Amino acid sequence: MYCEDGKVFVEKEDQCMSCKNFKKGVACPLLQALGLGMVTLEGIMYVTNCGFYAENRRHLKLIDQKHEKNN
């Protein structure tokens, strides 16, 4: 994660990529604080053990193609 021109950039190494709060944006207290300028970030920081982390789970169902073709 790093900041540039007032924007926050999250990288694939950051835990945020699979975090529910990152998907919602404003639900992340750290991103919110960085975005509002309440916290500054010098250089690059990798988020690996965030106390606010909430796993973003996908809820996909596999469709039985044989069953679909017969209908």
List residues binding ligand SF4 (CB under 6 A). 15-16, 19, 21-22, 28, 30-31, 47, 50, 52-53
In the bound complex, what is the minimum distance in angstroms from residue 44's beta carbon to ligand SF4?
A: 14
Strand 7-9 and strand 2-4: the pairing is antiparallel
Q: Which is nearer to ligand SF4, 3 or 21 (CB)?
A: 21
In the bound complex, what is the minimum distance in angstroms from residue 8's beta carbon to ligand SF4?
A: 10
The pair of three-digit structure tokens given for residue 46, joined into one six-digit string? 């990798």
